[in-house]
Structure 1
Amino acid sequence: MDSNLAVKQLKAMEKIVNEHAEDPRLAAEGWGEDWQTLIAIMLSAQTRDTLTIKVCNELFKKYKAPSDLANASLEQVEKEIGSVNYYKTKAKRIKGTAEIIVKDGLGDSVDELVKFPGVGRKTANVYLVEVKKAAAIGVDTHLSYASQYLGWSKNKTPEKIEYDLMDLFPKKYWNQLNWIVVSFGQIFRSKTKKDALLDKISKFK
């Protein structure tokens, strides 16, 4: 895959997103505190961003600091986030994360962030892009699917796809990749429609 072609395809996808997005905000965006951004990204896994944002708005009204969340009962946290997928597992993870933040603070690198319960490279990279404006690529299911469909990567594991994309795209595009492709996936949830558009994009020369 040629780098210039990949960039052209990415820009075509961005144009489609801008033409169709009613609310382009993703779950990682728009929070006033860094710890809130991390919690929101954790809760967004396998959950629509619109729902994640709604849940987090209520969660952060009740728990205004990491210490508030850390000191809450697990049952209460489960109740607060009960509408997101895998809420029981996520409740344990965000409460545990809040406890670590209170004790040790937030991390500034992937290696530091993956020490939090339930935080992998994707979550860490998305956080660093949003909070630190870092040049990083968070590979989730949307980006993995599009990367394989368009030939950006032949690998299937997120970490290998991440490195393939870093080799393929100029660094200035790294922190745009997740936002564009995830927004695309959120807008076009029908596999038939999504594949039709990806097929059209794949024919760019």
Structure 2
Amino acid sequence: MTHLRRGGFVAFEGGDGAGKTTQLDLLESWFQEQAVPYERTREPGGTAIGERIRSLVLEHDQGEIDPRTEALLFAASRAAHVVQRIEPALEAGRFVLCDRYVDSSVAYQGEGRELGTEAVAAINGFATGGLQPDLTVLLDLDPAAARARREGRAGRSDRIESAEDAFHDRLRHAFLTRAEAAPGRYLVLEASGPAQELHTQIRARVQELLGQELLNS
């Protein structure tokens, strides 16, 4: 499928506790200062049905969810998200800032749940119609450091955050493997550094993307 659009699509990826929310907040504030038209969204979620699926797959006490069902639920949420939210925003000339996208499913279900990265990538290729971000910011953090961050937060970890350490080791490997396969589309940052320094690097890369979009408009 060929996607004709005027906006830009930036996804943020990384393990739980890597700092995606902080960096999304900082980039969103900068977009507002620069009057860049944008939408911020998240996965799973972003639509009414997506938010309902989010509660099913992340909250405790929802009953047993086997890995294959989990992968298909995430893909269903993503399909609705692309059609109802992401593509309309891009076609209207807005930038989309998304907390997680296909890489998360490949990492969490393909590698973490050991379903196979190729199988999960294929499911999500169908779900998205092949739509890829223009830029994926991967915040890479050692799983032990990420766990310490999660444990320091208020509230209970969700069902996936609570998985064993080996699970989080596997998904980190999957994220890095995906980034190595397409280096031009990824910005990989060591996420233990100061938040403002990370933001400066992200902003510089996004400014390049903004310039390209202006040239193509």
Q: TM-score, normalised by structure 2?
A: 0.27
Which of the pair has more CA radius of gyration?
Answer: 1
Kindly indicate whether structure 1 or structure 2 has the higher relative contact order, using CA contacts under 8 Å at least 6 residues apart.
2
- Greater share of helix: 1
